[in-house]
Amino acid sequence: MTDDQLLRYSRHILLDALGIEGQERILATHALIIGAGGLGSPAALYLASAGIGKITLVDDDTVDFTNLQRQILHTQARVGMAKAESGKQALQAINPEINIVPLQQRLSGAALDALVATADLVLDCTDNFATRHAINRACVHHKKPLVSGAAIRFDGQISVYDLRQDDSPCYHCLFPEGEDVEEVRCAVMGVFAPLTGIVGTMQAAEALKLAAGIGESLNGRLLLLDALEMEWRTIRFKKDSGCTVCGPTKDGQAPGYLPRPDADRESADGACRLA
Ligand SMILES: [Zn+2]
């Protein structure tokens, strides 16, 4: 670490659990953040300020005036700009030392797969069910830890799927695809501004812990927040041995892992659901 880095990250280095070694692991980490909206904004800001060495920030959308109420990466002056580029500008202003790669595209299929393979950890900051399942399949396939958050109205959720561990549940174990779920249109759904900040910031905390290799992650636990009553609940869950994405098959392959052309059928302003 350089003298500047020792100063910049001194309040991390002072933490006994983290120290120089933990900070060096953070500096060596490549985080893939999918979604530069309400959740991705605070998640990316904290990962950048804390020195995650490389951040790939993916979003196919442009900054809209209605985003500014909660998507704190973006500014009124950048309305109309690609969110990935706007996000890069915000992150670089805080920490010019790190490598930020903005990608303006809807990740799916082979591109999603290739990018997940290069990352050390993945933050799902998207807002629709189909993309969440596509990200989960790629993370299961490449055994990458997945930090998943969701926020709508006053309801928030966060969990970690540490798919480096064979006994870890995946997103599909908890939320099987194809089940009857409440699908709502994000574009017409309200969301309490700081709720996205709370959940996205917790995603950053879990990602930094995974990067540094410290503490206990939320693997196997789903936290549910009712921000109107400001009450948290914890649900514990295990791997579903019959899961079609991460469950074993006779030949040892994960059966659900096939490129699925319908995986990105829902656009960002299409159907979404909490979870
Ligand atoms: Zn599973």
Place 266 in a pLDDT band, splitting at 50, 70 and 90: very low
Place 258 in a pLDDT band, splitting at 50, 70 and 90: very low
Q: Ligand 1 centroid vs 177 CA: distance in angstroms?
A: 11
- Given a cut of 50, whether residue 196 has pLDDT beyond it is yes
Q: Ligand 1 centroid vs 138 CA: distance in angstroms?
A: 12
Mean pLDDT, residues 29-57 taken together: 98
% of the chain at pLDDT higher than 70: 87
Average pLDDT for the chain: 90
% of the chain at pLDDT higher than 90: 82
Q: Ligand 1 centroid vs 18 CA: distance in angstroms?
A: 31
Question: What pLDDT was estimated at residue 21?
Answer: 98
Q: Ligand 1 centroid vs 132 CA: distance in angstroms?
A: 13
**164 burial type by CB count under 10 A (0-12 exposed, 13-18 middle, 19+ buried):** middle
Q: Ligand 1 centroid vs 93 CA: distance in angstroms?
A: 39
For residue 210, give every residue at least 6 positions away whose Cβ sits within 8 Å of its Cβ, in sequence order, or none: 121, 145, 147, 160, 162, 217
CA distance between the termini of the chain: 39
Q: Ligand 1 centroid vs 87 CA: distance in angstroms?
A: 32
> What string of H, E and C letters represents the secondary structure of 111-138?
HHHHHHHHCCEEEECCCCHHHHHHHHHH
- Given a cut of 50, whether residue 198 has pLDDT beyond it is yes
- Given a cut of 50, whether residue 34 has pLDDT beyond it is yes
Q: Ligand 1 centroid vs 159 CA: distance in angstroms?
A: 14
Question: What pLDDT was estimated at residue 187?
Answer: 60
Place 2 in a pLDDT band, splitting at 50, 70 and 90: very high
Distances (CA, A) of 216 to 166, 208, 210, 221: 17, 12, 9, 11
Q: Please give the residue that has the higher pLDDT: either 198 or 256.
A: 198
- Given a cut of 50, whether residue 11 has pLDDT beyond it is yes
Give one DSSP letter per residue of 43-110, joined into a string.
HHHHHHHTT-SEEEEE---B--GGGTTT-TT--GGGTTSBHHHHHHHHHHHH-TTSEEEEE-S---HH
- Given a cut of 80, whether residue 270 has pLDDT beyond it is no
Q: Ligand 1 centroid vs 67 CA: distance in angstroms?
A: 33
Place 273 in a pLDDT band, splitting at 50, 70 and 90: very low
Cα torsion through 198, 204, 210, 212, rounded to 10: -120
Task: Say how far apart CA 228 and CA 185 lie, in whole Å.
Answer: 21
Residues with CB under 5 A from ligand 1 (ion): 170, 172-173, 243, 245-246
Highest mean pLDDT among 124-128, 189-193, 196-200: 196-200
Q: Ligand 1 centroid vs 244 CA: distance in angstroms?
A: 7
Mean pLDDT, residues 49-78 taken together: 98
Highest mean pLDDT among 127-141, 239-253, 256-270: 127-141
- Given a cut of 50, whether residue 262 has pLDDT beyond it is no
Task: Say how far apart CA 182 and CA 85 lie, in whole Å.
Answer: 33
Is the model's pTM score more than 0.85?
yes
